[in-house]
Structure 1
Amino acid sequence: MDKKIPVISIVGIHNSGKTTFIERIIKILSEKGYKVGTIKHDPKGKAKTDTPGKDSYRMFNAGARQVVLASPKKITSYIRDDDYDPSDIIEKYMVSDLDIIIIEGFKGYRNTDKFEVIRKEEDRDLVISEKEGLKGVITDYYPYPLKFDVNRPEDFAEYIEKHYIKAEKHL
C-alpha cells in the first residue's frame, strides 16, 4: 500500500451494537465523500459469504486458493488463508484509495486505537483496557474520559474525521 490509511477498531461483546453503530458511521462518512473500508472479524466462521451450489462456492470448495466473483457493481473475493491478522488483511487485500479503515472485532490486535461499545443493558465491565489500546467508549451510560453517545454516531464520525482522516483531503 502506497499511503498510510488510518485504522481504528470498534470492539465489544457479541450483540453489543457494534455493526449497527459502524453502519451508521459508514453512512455519515460516505455521505461526506470519504471512502471507508471495513474489516469484520468472524472468529467462529459462522458468517454466510457464499451460496452453496453456486459456481463461486463450488470453485472455492473444490480447493481454489482464491475465487473472485465480479459483478457490475461489486467484486467479491474468497481467499483461503488461515494465518492472518488485520495488518495482513490491510496490506494484501484492502484497496489503496481508502480514507479510513474501520475494523470490527479483533480485540487482541494491538496496532490500532480501539473504541469499545458498551451498553447499559449489558451490565458488564470493559473487555479491553488502555494497555490493550482502548482509546474511548461508545456508550449510553459508561463513564470514561473519552466517550461517545451510542445514539449520536454523528459525534463519533466528526471525531474520526478530525483525528484520523487526513486533513488535506478535499471533498
Structure 2
Amino acid sequence: MLRTIVIAGRKGSGKTKVIEGLVKELTNRDYRVGTVKHVPKQGFTLDQSGTNTWRHAQAGSKTVVCISPDEVATLEKRKPELGEILLSLRDLDFVILEGFRSAENLAKIMVARNED
C-alpha cells in the first residue's frame, strides 16, 4: 500500500534535509521509497539546451526517455497531474513529496526554521 507524505515549508526551511533523513531511515528499514519534487518555476526543465534529448523534445517528442548504464530518465512534455504520478508509483511503499503545500487529502509535515 502506497503511503504519501508531503514535506512543505518556505524556501530554505530545511525540507530537503528532512526528506534525506526520512528516505535514509525508511530505506534502512527495507521500505521502497520514492520522492517527487515540486518546482513552481515556469519553464523549468531538467534537460539541457543543445543535448540530443533536448533536440528530440524540440522536434516535438512528447516523451523522451534517456537510458544510461546506471539510470533511466523520462521527460514528459505535459501538464502534470499529481494523482496520475502517484498512481504510477503505486509499487513503492512510501512516496515523499517536497513542496505541494496546497495538495489536498495528503499527510503534511510543515518545516520551519523558526516560529515566523
TM range (shorter): 0.7 to 0.9
* Alignment of 1:86 onto 2:82: yes
How far off its partner does 1:108 sit?
Answer: 1.0
2:95 counterpart (77, 101, 122): 101
Q: 1:104-150: per-residue Cα shift (whole Å, max 9, x none)?
A: 11111102111100112xx51xxxxxxxxxxxxxxxxxxxxxxxxxx
Gaps of 5+ in 2: none
Q: Does 1:68 align with 2:62?
A: no
Task: Look up the match of 1:41.
Answer: 38
* C-alpha deviation, 1:86, in angstroms: 1.7
* Aligned counterparts, 1:114-133, within 5 A: 114-120=108-114, 123-124=115-116
Tell me how far apart the structure 1 counterparts of residues 44 and 34 of structure 2 sit (CA, whole Å).
18
The structure with higher relative contact order (CA 8 Å, sep 6+) is 2
Q: Percent identity of the aligned residues?
A: 34
RMSD over aligned CA atoms reads 1.8
More strand by share: 2
TM-score normalised to the size of structure 1?
0.62
Match in the other structure for 1:166: none
Cα deviation, 1:82-106, whole Å, max 9, x if unaligned, reads 2x33212112x42x43110111111
Q: Determine if contact 1:38/1:104 at 8 Å carries over to the other structure.
A: yes
Paired residue type of 1:87: G
What is the TM-score normalised by the length of structure 2? Answer: 0.88
Partner amino acid for 2:85? Answer: I
> Contact 1:11/1:117 (CA < 8 Å) preserved in 2?
yes
Specify the structure having the higher radius of gyration (Cα).
1
